[in-house]
Every structure is written in C-alpha cells, then in structure tokens.
C-alpha cells in the first residue's frame, strides 16, 4: 500500500541511543542520549542520560514563574499530568491555537523543553473510584472524572506534546487487588495502547494528505508513545504484560497498525510509576486490619518518604526487571516518584533506568529543605570550602542530604545554600584557581543569580538614569552574591513564597548535578565498576532515612499551624503542598 | 541625596525629578512596590529590578521582629540580605505597629507594645526607630510618627500631630549624631488628620526643620475627595526642592491624581495583594482573572505589556487555570501588576517631560473609566489643578462618591 510506505518513511521523532550498544546488558547502569527531532523542523533537543524530568502541578512547575523556568537550565524535560485540565470539557489546552499548543499554553519553550503528558499524576496515590471497562478515573479540582481512550487520543492529538504516555489501567482502589483484577488491568492496558497507536497511524495518514496540499501548515509531531508497564506487584503479571507487547499482532490489528509488527514496535519507551507499586507492596506486607499511622497512602506521603517505605528498591527493581527482561534494551526507561537519591542510584545500577522524575527534590523545596549532596562523593569532601557548613552528620555517621532551613541554626548562617557547590561569584573571585570545575558550581538563579536578564524594562524616556543600557547577562561580571541560608530561613518563617521559588530552582539544579556526576563516572574507562563502588560510598556517606525531611516536615507544619492554617484533610494538605504557603 | 527637578507640567503641579541616592538614581514620580518582609511576594530581587523598578519599601516594624537588627547587621544590611542593589525606603514603624498590634499604646516616650512572639513589652521610641532603620540601611528612612485613625477628629488628632513634630526632632537628633547621617536620608511625616488648620501648623513646623530633612511624607490620609484636598494643601506648601511622598496610595486613578497634585512617590500593597486574589490591572480597568469569562480566553492580559507574563504570551485562560491554586499564578500576576504601575508612572514621567501631561490624564481616565463613569472626586481633584476631564465630553457619566466599581473584589 502506498500509505504504508509513506508511514515507513517517517522516522520516530524521539530517539534513544544507548552508548556502547554492542555489549549493552539487559540490566545495569548505562549511558545514552535522548534526541527529539520534531517533524515540523523546530529545534532539535538532546538530553544525555541518566537525567531528570521536572514534575508539574496544574501544568506549572510549582513556585516558578516563566522567567525562572527559562533561566533554570536543569529544566529540560517537563512532565505534565493532564487530569487537572479535565475540570472543563473540552479541556482548555486542547483549544489553544497555534503550533505546539501544550508548550504554548503552559509557557514552555519548544526550543528548550521536551514536554510529555500522561493522564494521571504519577505521584498521586490517593484512593480512587474503580476504573471502568473503557475508562479510567482521574482527579481534577472539581472532583473525579472519567477519561476514555478516545478522549485521550483526541486530547493528546490536540495538545501535541512531544511525548505521550498511553492510558494505563492502574487500579487506585484500596489494595490488595485480586488476580482477576490484575489480569483485567493487563488486558485493558494493552488494548488501550493499541488504541493510541491506531489513532497515531490514522493521524500520520491524515498528515500525509495535508502536508501534500499545504506544505506550510503546521505539522503535528508523530507523538512518541510511552507505555506504563502494567502488572502491579505480581511478577508473572508483569511478564505477561511485557509479552503482550512483543506478540505478533493479529490480522486485524496488523492491518491497522502497519508497518508495526508488534505493539512494542510503536512504543518509544517504558514508564514505571513507583507510587502504585509501593502502595501494593505495603499492602502485601501488612495485613489490612492494622494500618500503621504514617503508612497511609496518599497526599501525606508527598511531604516525605516514611522510613518504613524507604528501602524497598530491591523489590521494586525485581518488579521492573520482570517487565524489561525480554524487551529491547534500546528503548529509554523512565521512572516516576523515586524517593531518594539512594533509590535513584540503585535503580540506575540494578536496572539501568535512563530518566527519573525530580519530584523528590521539588517537594523538598516545599518543606524548606535546601539539597546539598554530590555524586560521586569526593575523598575529603568539599564541605570545608569557604567557611560554608556542610549538612549535619547524624549519630549513624551519615550526612543529611540537605539543610532544613526552618531550623534556628540557619538564622545567622549567611553562607550560600550548598557546601558541596560554590556560587559563581565566589568561584570567580578565587584567585589563582580559575579552574574550579563547572560541575562544582551550582548554576541555579539562587546560588548564582545574574542581573540584567534579559534587559531592564524602561517605562519612560528618562529611565536610563536609573538603568543604564545593560551589558548582556552572559557577562561574568553580572553574577551577584548568592541568596543565603539566613535569608531563606527568614522567608520561610515569614511565609514568603519567594523561599520556595529560590529552593525549587536550587534543588532541581542539585539533582541535575547529581545526574551529571553519575554520567561522568560512567563515562570512565572502567565506568560500571567505578559506579558500583561510588554507589556504596554514597550510601555510606548520606543518610537514607532522611531524618532532615521529617524534621522539616514538623517545622513546616508548625509554622503553618502558628499561622492558623492547620488542617487535616488530605486534599487541603495536598493543596497546601502544591502551593506550600497560603496565597 | 541629590534632588533635581527636570521638568514641570505647565498646567498641573506635576513634575519630573531626578533623585540620586546611595544605591542609584530613581526617577520621579514613581510607584514603590512593597516588600514588607524583605521580599516582593514570590519574586527574587533580580526579577524585581528586571521589571524596571529602582525603589522598593521594607517594613521597619516587621524587619525588627524578624530577622532583627543583629542579623541584619551581620548580613551587611537589608540590601545585601535580600540581594537588592537599588534604592530602599523604610517606614518609621508607627503605622504598621498601630494597625497590626492591638496592644500598642502611645506614650510621649514612644509606642509601647507586646512582642507578638514572646508577649514581653517593647518600647519603640523615635531613637529606636532610627537605630532599626540604620541597621536596615535604607536609603530613605522615615520618622516615627504618632498615628491616629484616618477619620479621627478632636483633641487626639492635634496631640498626635504635635507629638509627631517632637518625635521628628528626636529622630533628627539621633540621626545627625550617627555615622549614617551621610549615607541615609530622613523624611518627616506631615500629620494633622483631616483638619486643614492642623495640617498647616504641622507644615509650618516641619518646613522650619527643612535643612535637616531630606524629604516629606504625607501621612494619615484616606483616598477620596477630602484626602485629596489635603494632599493638595500639603504639596502646595512643601518646599519644591524636596521630594514629596504619599503613603498608602496605590489605586491607579489615585496615583495619577496625586502626581497631578505634586506628589513624587507613593507606596501601597494594593497591586501585589490584588494579584494574589487574582486581579490583573490594565489600562481598561482591572480584570478579575478568576471570573469564568476568562477560562477560554487565549489572549494575554495586555498585548502591549512588556512584563514577563504578557511578553511570554501567558493567556488569561492559563492564568484562570492556576490563579489562587498555584503560587506561580500569583507570581505571574504580581509581575504584571508591578509593571502596570511602573508603566502608569513612567507614562506620567514621559508626558510631563513632553509637556502633555493633561492629555495623558484625559486619555487614561477615558480608557479606564470610559464605560463605568468618572469618579466625581477625581474630576474635582483634577479641576483644582486646571485639568477638566469632562471637557468636550457632554455625555460623560460621573459617578458620585469614591467610584471604583471594579473587579477588585476578592470574593468573585
Ligand atoms: Zn543552587
Ligand atoms: Zn503584563
């Protein structure tokens, strides 16, 4: 068929190139490159992996204005859960005119940001009404809504994100889930993947026609479809779902999906949402009659991972491996809701995960924690530089992953946020040592603010007296002193929203430097070996119990209560976390 | 402080001035955004200066409670503490104290109040107010004043006015003796309630002290017609070679009237507070972004606005989706509203420079109130300086009272 050959000519726009493909093991740490070539010829984006994805709430990165998003270079891939837009029918972003509607509506720059979309917020583990035969239950500000595969196809088609996760039938009813339920979940998830791939190929056909008739028309991407790996916490179920992706398509599907031979041929990558897995795992471990306080799922766990939940990476790795065992190693593997850098390292080491969301680092900013850790941990850690006090060391000999800036100890601490990273200004001032590796500078707008970016607004013909024509912000002389711990301590205690903006930019940047550190180690000649060693060092060096988060959580809640904003409903807490402070 | 008048309006009392302070030049007239706790809501210092703002206000009362003067001194002053490179003004502390602290009691010595954190009694004296502002390091300091309720009448008003004059002397005394007398400038605050006679007496006393006062604030006046008559009275009498600062004025129409009456600067939480309630200011009147009618509107707040929100194409629909839900919604509107105020005042500076300020006033009021009708008090106040908003508009509607039937409401 003519159409078939046309389809075959269109390359997938998202490509993943693992480095050293020849002997790439099924599991184990790996380096790679994700490249996005959009069909409309707009900017070509590349991301070295392992790397991070920035999480959003209501489509925005919490606490960041658009200018702050644009100057935070660690923000490259932005993931947008779509459910918050379902309060309107049709959802408002689907009505956005112009090319790249979802980028445009939310203010992400197509030349800087890859935007991916899923129906549900991967971090939202709240109990939900059951999914139906042909819909899943989703949550928006007006309550529960239903979304069908058809709706999802039409919304994603209208929004035109760079990457889409197919609908997945993940149960959010209280666990445990019966075998029958899990079987259904697998069947529906694979049927819904078929649906979106079909819609995709129909769109490609339509696109071929329109392209012919009017070459200038804005061409939608072939959307890159990710699949969430179903099967919950049952190894056999996960394997069964993975196998369904590899099965040769039956006649009817084969015709509609040509030239795909299997569903997997149409899949751009594999997604693992850890939140529902953790929930099902803990349900498996404790009898339903004794729900421990602090173990209830849902919004509260947004604040900080509970100690009981922490060290479940081995179980999670087993589950993820069960899915990936027979799937091609050449597709990117994405994880949502890893709850510590330790877990991220283990997932990279034991599975070979390529992209991990930054939700953990972002939510640390909600509770006043400034991250301060580095990978690989250096012998003679750099914490002594410049009288900048490093994170607290706990009785177990391990250092905190950051600073709880609510703590009174920071009231008079006028140093920059992280001991492990210099700020650009002081780094410049280091005489005779102009060679500070860039990786040891936190480039975030909190630690290394610049002025004059992009240009001062002038409001009258005499404003040049106040703001002379400014040199470009790229000028190194435009670096300003870092914002200090004492200032953010003050902002937190006075409920100023700026505290969270400054912390979010910093925390995402620290996680970005952590990922860069991982890549640097892996790039070495004996990278994998070195990496294993450094992971051990990191685990020994930094506190995985995250006591500092628990302390921050208490202070955060205390400051809220002192202000008469105490509340107990989960929705209110989630709301508060979205905004962290009363508006 | 170096202060120079660059241009005067040929009709009204408006003027353009060049005010040079230790942290640079601020062109007047200007609006001063309020950073009560050393931060403009949700923004960083770099973001604020990028908006073209060169003067912000910190609250003396608040910064004294937190972080306190010791920490401010350690940090190298409030400029360094908040990363602000431009000019900074602080209030005397009297107004916030009396309006926020129920326990505040005024004595001749100073204002006695209970610490909100420990409950222990604290006395804010004029000297202490100066010491706090010295620790803050503001370019412009304001004297401690004895604040009475706006509409008060009777002997308390006169007592407060005379006490404010005595406190000014104590502030001057303390400031002159300090090593900061060169680097920080002190403003007096004219009081006298709504009694023109008292205002006059206060003006006389404060003008006597002109050589040791860098500028004059006009305190204790509400918006509306009566307040504006008194502002005109003060502005007319104050020396031309000193800046005139009107506290607590922030509605756009009010700002322009004040400029026409001869005011150089004004501060108010209004534009940033109203942003948090979802209101965007525009030259065609304010928009309550929370209203349903904006849900599918893909236009920015104002196509011609250079603020980061409008310039990046943020639609009203997007703002409607996040406003009052995500802090980023408040940030976006805060940036826009600060730029709106800056454009409004920048437009006034430009028009005065070009000799077309009366035209600018007429155009602004026609666009802002064209449909809703002109507030009568604005018409009258501008008439008093020779501008007739209704000239050539026989059909124009005039709304009696204080006007402003806008979407300002936060309950919509
Ligand atoms: Zn930083
Ligand atoms: Zn704007």
Residues A362-390 as b/e (b if ≥16 CB within 10 A, e otherwise) read bbbbbbbbbbbbbbbbeeebbbebeebeb
Does residue A299 have a pLDDT over 50?
no
Going by pLDDT thresholds of 50, 70 and 90, the confidence category of residue A42 is: confident
CB neighbours of residue B121 within 10 Å: 11
Residue B376 sits at φ, ψ, to 5 deg, of -60, -40
Give percent of chain B above pLDDT 70. 97
Q: Which of residues A385 and B264 earns the better pLDDT score? A: B264
Judgement on whether residues A193 and A135 belong to the same structural domain of the protein:
yes
The whole-number pLDDT of residue A290 equals: 43
The whole-number pLDDT of residue B97 equals: 87
pLDDT tens digits, one per residue of B116-167: 888 999 999 999 999 999 999 999 999 999 998 777 788 999 999 999 999 9
Judgement on whether residues A23 and A94 belong to the same structural domain of the protein:
yes
Judgement on whether residues A327 and A411 belong to the same structural domain of the protein:
no
* Nearest ligand, measured from the Cα of A447: 1
The whole-number pLDDT of residue B412 equals: 32
Does residue B405 have a pLDDT over 60?
no
CB A217 within 8 A of CB A207: no
Rounded CA-CA distance B399/B403 in Å is 6
Judgement on whether residues A199 and A57 belong to the same structural domain of the protein:
yes
The whole-number pLDDT of residue B280 equals: 97
Q: Which of B2, B24, B42, B116 to mutate to test the interface with A (most CBs of A within 10 A)?
A: B42
Residues B350-368 as b/e (b if ≥16 CB within 10 A, e otherwise) read bbbbeebbbebbbebbeeb
Average pLDDT in chain B: 94
Q: Please, what CATH class does the domain formed by B2-274 belong to? A: alpha beta
Which positions of B make up the binding site? 145, 220, 305, 307, 310, 336
Judgement on whether residues A380 and A291 belong to the same structural domain of the protein:
no
Which positions of B make up the binding site for substrate? 145, 220
Judgement on whether residues A327 and A373 belong to the same structural domain of the protein:
no
Judgement on whether residues A175 and A226 belong to the same structural domain of the protein:
yes
A484: Cβ–Cβ under 8 A, 6 or more apart, which residues?
Answer: A413, A414, A415, A416, A417, B75, B81
List chain A residues with CB under 8 Å of B307.
457
Decide if B326 and A62 are in contact by the 8 Å CB cutoff: yes
- The upper half-sphere exposure of residue A447, i.e. CA atoms within 13 Å in the direction of its Cβ, equals 30
B190 in contact with chain A, both atoms CB, cutoff 8 A: no
Kindly report which listed range (A205-209, A328-332, A401-405, B4-8) carries the lowest average pLDDT score.
A205-209
Decide if A92 and B321 are in contact by the 8 Å CB cutoff: yes
Judgement on whether residues A108 and A178 belong to the same structural domain of the protein:
yes
Going by pLDDT thresholds of 50, 70 and 90, the confidence category of residue A380 is: very low
Rounded CA-CA distance B264/A136 in Å is 60
Three-state secondary structure call for residue A36: strand
Chain B, 135 to 174: residues with Cβ < 8 Å from chain A are none
Domain count, chain A: 2
A303 in contact with chain B, both atoms CB, cutoff 8 A: no
pLDDT tens digits, one per residue of B337-395: 999 999 999 999 999 999 999 999 999 999 999 778 999 999 999 999 999 999 999 88
Kindly report which listed range (A4-8, A88-92, A404-408) carries the lowest average pLDDT score.
A4-8
* Nearest ligand, measured from the Cα of A442: 1
- In 3D space, the residue among B60, B57, B65 whose CA is nearest the CA of residue B88 turns out to be B57
The whole-number pLDDT of residue A43 equals: 81
B162: Cβ–Cβ under 8 A, 6 or more apart, which residues?
Answer: none
How much of chain A is helix, strand and coil, in % rounded to 5?
45, 15, 45
Q: How many residues does chain A have?
A: 583
Rounded CA-CA distance B122/A77 in Å is 53
Strand order in the sheet with B55-58: B30-32, B265-267, B244-247, B215-218, B185-190, B140-142, B87-90, B55-58
CB A418 within 8 A of CB A399: no
Residue A539 sits at φ, ψ, to 5 deg, of -65, -35
Going by pLDDT thresholds of 50, 70 and 90, the confidence category of residue A456 is: confident
Distance A444 CA to ligand 2 centre (A): 25
Beta strands in A58-133 (DSSP E): 77-81, 114-118
**Domain range annotation of chain B:** 2-274, 284-399
Does residue B60 have a pLDDT over 50?
yes
What tokens were used for A569? 């409903």
What tokens were used for A451? 């002025």
Does residue A271 have a pLDDT over 50?
yes
CA nearest to B83 within chain A: A483
- In 3D space, the residue among A153, A168, A228 whose CA is nearest the CA of residue A198 turns out to be A153
Chain B, 2 to 21: residues with Cβ < 8 Å from chain A are 6, 16, 18
Rounded CA-CA distance A331/B335 in Å is 42
CB neighbours of residue A424 within 10 Å: 23
Judgement on whether residues A352 and A375 belong to the same structural domain of the protein:
no
Decide if B83 and A414 are in contact by the 8 Å CB cutoff: no
A212 in contact with chain B, both atoms CB, cutoff 8 A: no
Rounded CA-CA distance A59/B321 in Å is 9
B42: nearest CB among A414, A497, A575: A497
- In 3D space, the residue among A202, A120, A89 whose CA is nearest the CA of residue A153 turns out to be A202
Please compute the mean of the pLDDT values over residues A480-493 and round it to a whole number: 97
Residue B64 sits at φ, ψ, to 5 deg, of -70, -35
The alpha-carbon gap from B193 to the nearest alpha carbon of chain A, in Å, equals 33
Rounded CA-CA distance A486/B185 in Å is 27
CB neighbours of residue A209 within 10 Å: 11
- In 3D space, the residue among B91, B51, B5, B17 whose CA is nearest the CA of residue B269 turns out to be B91
Q: What is the CATH number of the domain that holds A8?
A: 3.20.20.105
Does residue A6 have a pLDDT over 70?
no
The whole-number pLDDT of residue A204 equals: 65
Q: Which residue reads 């730029």 in tokens?
A: B339
CB neighbours of residue B102 within 10 Å: 8
Does residue A382 have a pLDDT over 90?
no
Distance B340 CA to ligand 2 centre (A): 7
Rounded CA-CA distance B399/B408 in Å is 17
Judgement on whether residues A481 and A571 belong to the same structural domain of the protein:
yes
List chain A residues with CB under 8 Å of B325.
58, 141, 575, 578-579
The alpha-carbon gap from A477 to the nearest alpha carbon of chain B, in Å, equals 14
Rounded CA-CA distance A101/A80 in Å is 13
Cβ-Cβ contacts under 8 Å between A and B: the total is 212
Residue B373 Rama label (left phi>0; alpha psi -120 to 50; beta): left
The whole-number pLDDT of residue A295 equals: 37
B74: nearest CB among A104, A412, A453: A412
Three-state secondary structure call for residue A115: strand
- The upper half-sphere exposure of residue B6, i.e. CA atoms within 13 Å in the direction of its Cβ, equals 22
Does residue A394 have a pLDDT over 90?
yes
Does residue A102 have a pLDDT over 80?
yes
The whole-number pLDDT of residue A436 equals: 54
Element (H, E) at A334: strand A333-336
Judgement on whether residues A332 and A401 belong to the same structural domain of the protein:
no
A457: nearest CB among B40, B81, B306: B306
CA-based radius of gyration for chain B: 21
Please report whether residue A27 resides in a domain: yes
Chain B, 223 to 262: residues with Cβ < 8 Å from chain A are none
List chain A residues with CB under 8 Å of B346.
458-460, 463
Does residue A386 have a pLDDT over 70?
no
Chain B, 305 to 344: residues with Cβ < 8 Å from chain A are 306-309, 312-315, 317-318, 321-322, 324-332, 335, 339, 342-343
A17: Cβ–Cβ under 8 A, 6 or more apart, which residues?
Answer: A32, A33, A35
- Model ipTM? 0.97
Please compute the mean of the pLDDT values over residues B229-256 and round it to a whole number: 96
pLDDT tens digits, one per residue of B239-249: 999 999 999 99
Please compute the mean of the pLDDT values over residues B102-112 and round it to a whole number: 93
Does residue B43 have a pLDDT over 50?
yes
Q: What is the pTM of this model?
A: 0.93
Does residue A113 have a pLDDT over 90?
yes
The whole-number pLDDT of residue B148 equals: 87
Residues of B acting as catalytic residues: 91, 267
In DSSP terms, B245 is beta-bridged to B217, B265
Judgement on whether residues A481 and A338 belong to the same structural domain of the protein:
no
Please compute the mean of the pLDDT values over residues A224-230 and round it to a whole number: 96
In three state form, how does the secondary structure of chain B look? CEEEEEEECCCCCCEEEEEEECCEEEEECEEECECCCCCCCCCCHHHHHHCCCCEEEECHHHHHHCCCHHHHHHHCHHHHHHCCCCEEEECCCHHHHHHHCCCCEECCCCEEEECCCCCCEEEECHHHHHHHHHHHCCCEEECCCCCCCCCCCCHHHHHHHHHHHHHHHHHHHHHHHCCCCCCCEEEEEECCCCCHHHHHHHHHHHHHCHHHCCEEEECCCCCCHHHHHHHHHHHHHCCCCCCEEEECCCCHHHHHHHHHHCCCEEECCHHHHHHHCCEECCCCCCEECCCHHHCCCCCCCCCCCCCHHHHCCCCHHHHHHHCCCCHHHHHHHHHHHHHHHHHHHHHHHHHHHCCCHHHHHHHHHHHHHCCCCEEHHHHHHHHCCCCCCCCCCCCCCEECCCCCCCCCCCCC
Give percent of chain A above pLDDT 70. 81
Bond before A32 cis per omega within 30 degrees: no
What tokens were used for A559? 């400051």
Going by pLDDT thresholds of 50, 70 and 90, the confidence category of residue A313 is: confident
The whole-number pLDDT of residue B402 equals: 63
Please compute the mean of the pLDDT values over residues A208-215 and round it to a whole number: 44
Q: Which residue reads 């409030």 in tokens?
A: B78
B66 in contact with chain A, both atoms CB, cutoff 8 A: yes
Rounded CA-CA distance A46/A36 in Å is 6
Going by pLDDT thresholds of 50, 70 and 90, the confidence category of residue A3 is: very low
Please report whether residue A483 resides in a domain: yes
Note the maximum CA span of chain B: 63
Please report whether residue A413 resides in a domain: yes
The whole-number pLDDT of residue A286 equals: 60
The whole-number pLDDT of residue A368 equals: 97
pLDDT tens digits, one per residue of A153-170: 999 999 999 999 999 999
What is the residue range of A483's domain? 369-450+475-577
Please compute the mean of the pLDDT values over residues B175-188 and round it to a whole number: 97
Does residue A65 have a pLDDT over 60?
yes
Q: How many residues does chain B have?
A: 412
Going by pLDDT thresholds of 50, 70 and 90, the confidence category of residue B76 is: very high
Give percent of chain A above pLDDT 90. 67
Decide if A486 and B71 are in contact by the 8 Å CB cutoff: yes
């Amino acid at each position: 068929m003519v159409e078939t050959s046309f389809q075959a000519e269109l390359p997938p726009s998202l490509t993943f190139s693992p480095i050293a493909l020849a002997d790439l093991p099924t599991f184990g740490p790996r380096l790679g490159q994700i490249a996005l070539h959009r069909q409309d010829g707009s900017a070509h984006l590349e991301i070295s992996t392992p790397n991070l994805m920035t999480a959003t709430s209501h489509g925005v990165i919490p606490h960041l204005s658009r200018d702050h998003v644009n100057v935070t270079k660690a923000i490259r891939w932005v993931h947008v859960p779509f459910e918050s837009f379902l309060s309107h029918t049709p959802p408002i972003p689907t009505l956005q005119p112009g090319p790249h509607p979802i980028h445009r509506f939310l203010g992400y720059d197509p030349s800087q940001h890859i935007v991916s979309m899923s129906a549900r917020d991967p971090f939202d583990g709240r109990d939900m009404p059951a999914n139906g035969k042909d819909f899943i239950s989703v949550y928006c500000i007006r309550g529960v809504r239903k979304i069908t595969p058809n709706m999802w196809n039409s919304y994603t088609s209208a929004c035109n994100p760079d990457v889409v996760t197919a609908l997945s039938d993940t149960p959010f009813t209280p666990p445990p889930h019966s075998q029958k339920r899990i079987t259904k979940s697998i069947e529906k998830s694979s049927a819904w993947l078929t649906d979106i791939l079909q819609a995709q190929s129909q769109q490609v056909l339509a696109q071929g026609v329109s392209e012919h008739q009017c070459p200038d028309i804005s061409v939608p991407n072939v959307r890159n479809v990710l699949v969430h790996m179903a099967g919950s916490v049952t190894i056999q179920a996960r394997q069964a779902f993975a196998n369904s992706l590899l099965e040769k398509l039956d006649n009817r599907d084969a015709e509609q999906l040509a030239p795909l031979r299997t569903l997997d041929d149409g899949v751009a990558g594999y997604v693992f949402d850890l939140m529902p897995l953790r929930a099902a795992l803990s349900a498996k471990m404790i009898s339903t009659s004794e729900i421990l306080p602090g173990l209830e799922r849902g919004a509260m766990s947004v604040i900080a991972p509970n100690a009981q939940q922490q060290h479940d990476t081995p179980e999670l790795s087993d589950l993820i491996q069960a899915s990936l065992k027979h799937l091609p190693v050449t597709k990117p593997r994405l994880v949502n809701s890893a709850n510590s850098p330790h877990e991220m390292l283990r997932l990279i080491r034991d599975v070979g995960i390529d992209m991990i969301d930054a939700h953990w680092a972002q939510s640390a900013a909600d509770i006043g924690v400034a991250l301060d850790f580095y990978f690989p941990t250096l012998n003679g850690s750099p914490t002594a530089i410049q009288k900048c006090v490093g994170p607290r060391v706990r009785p177990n000999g391990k250092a905190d992953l950051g600073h709880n800036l609510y703590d009174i100890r920071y009231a008079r601490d006028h140093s920059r946020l992280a001991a492990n990273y210099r700020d650009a200004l002081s780094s410049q001032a280091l005489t005779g040592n102009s060679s500070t590796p860039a990786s040891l500078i936190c480039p975030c707008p909190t630690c290394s603010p610049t002025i004059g970016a992009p240009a001062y607004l002038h409001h009258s013909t005499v404003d040049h007296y106040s703001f002379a024509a400014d040199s470009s912000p790229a000028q190194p002389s435009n670096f300003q002193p870092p914002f200090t711990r004492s200032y953010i301590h003050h902002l937190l205690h006075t409920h100023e929203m700026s505290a969270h903006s400054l912390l979010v930019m910093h925390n995402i940047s620290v996680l970005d430097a952590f990922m860069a550190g991982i890549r640097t180690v892996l790039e070495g000649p004996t990278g994998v070996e070195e990496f294993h060693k450094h992971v051990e060092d990191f685990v020994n060096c930094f506190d995985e119990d995250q006591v500092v988060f628990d302390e921050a959580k208490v202070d955060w809640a205390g400051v809220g209560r002192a202000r008469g904003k105490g509340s107990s409903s989960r929705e209110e807490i989630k709301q508060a976390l979205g905004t962290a402070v009363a508006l | 402080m170096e202060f120079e008048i660059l241009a005067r309006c040929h009709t009204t009392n408006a003027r353009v001035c060049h005010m040079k302070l230790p942290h640079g030049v601020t062109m007047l007239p200007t609006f001063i955004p309020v950073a009560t706790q050393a931060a403009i809501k949700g923004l960083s210092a770099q973001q604020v200066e990028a908006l073209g703002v060169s003067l912000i206000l910190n609250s003396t009362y608040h910064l004294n409670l937190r972080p306190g003067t010791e920490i401010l001194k350690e940090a190298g002053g409030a400029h360094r503490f908040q990363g602000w490179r431009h000019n900074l003004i602080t209030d005397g502390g009297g107004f916030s104290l009396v309006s926020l602290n129920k326990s505040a009691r005024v004595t001749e010595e100073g204002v006695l109040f209970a610490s909100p954190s420990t409950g222990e009694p604290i006395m804010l004296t004029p000297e202490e107010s100066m010491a706090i502002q010295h620790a803050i390091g503001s370019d412009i300091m304001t004297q401690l004043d004895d604040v009475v309720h706006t509409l008060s009448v009777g002997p308390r008003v006169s007592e407060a006015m005379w006490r404010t004059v005595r406190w000014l002397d104590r502030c001057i005394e303390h400031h002159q003796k300090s090593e900061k007398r060169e680097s920080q400038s002190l403003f007096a605050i004219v009081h006298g309630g709504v009694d023109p006679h008292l205002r006059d007496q206060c003006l006389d006393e404060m003008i006597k002290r002109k050589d040791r006062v860098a500028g004059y604030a006009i305190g204790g006046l509400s918006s509306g017609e009566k307040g504006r008559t008194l502002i005109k009275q003060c502005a007319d009498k104050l020396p031309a070679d000193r800046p005139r600062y009107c506290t607590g004025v922030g509605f756009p129409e009010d700002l322009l009237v004040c400029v026409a009456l001869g005011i150089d600067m004004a501060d108010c939480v209004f534009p940033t507070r109203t942003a948090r309630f979802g209101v965007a200011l525009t030259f065609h009147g304010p928009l309550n972004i929370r209203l349903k009618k904006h849900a599918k509107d893909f236009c920015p707040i104002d196509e011609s606005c250079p603020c980061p929100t409008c310039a990046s194409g943020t639609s009203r629909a997007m703002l409607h989706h996040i406003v009052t839900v995500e802090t980023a919604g408040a940030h976006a509107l805060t940036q826009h509203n600060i730029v709106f105020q800056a454009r409004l005042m920048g437009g006034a500076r430009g028009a005065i420079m070009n000799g077309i300020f009366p035209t600018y006033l007429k155009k602004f009021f026609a666009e802002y109130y064209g449909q809703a009708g002109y507030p009568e008090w604005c018409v009258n106040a501008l008439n008093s300086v020779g501008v007739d908003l209704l000239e050539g508009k026989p059909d124009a509607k005039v709304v009696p009272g204080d006007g402003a039937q806008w979407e300002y409401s936060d309950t919509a």
